[in-house]
Amino acid sequence: TITAVPPATTPWKAGTKARLRATVQSRDYTNALSFYSDDASVIDIYPGGFYEVTGAAADTATITIRDEDAGTSVTVPVVVTA
């Protein structure tokens, strides 16, 4: 089971850069997981869970965190404020 650890600050504002963390069975495995954004015009995800909010206007996107070995995933909704 993957659990996303929400960013310290919400809502997410345009221009924000940080790292999304996740745990697998109560251990931090952020570097062993794959992170995907369904809309790079709202939020870009880089290897290791680093992200940049790229949207300049209020919008929404979804981040998918996938454990490729276990074949499990979790989604995290992102609501960007201008």
Contacts made by residues 55-62, CB under 8 angstroms, sequence distance 24+: 55/14, 55/80, 56/14, 56/82, 57/14, 57/82, 58/82, 61/37, 62/37, 62/38
pLDDT of the chain, 82 residues: tens digit per residue: 788 876 655 667 778 887 888 888 766 666 678 889 998 888 888 887 888 888 777 788 888 989 887 888 988 888 887 6
Entry pTM: 0.79
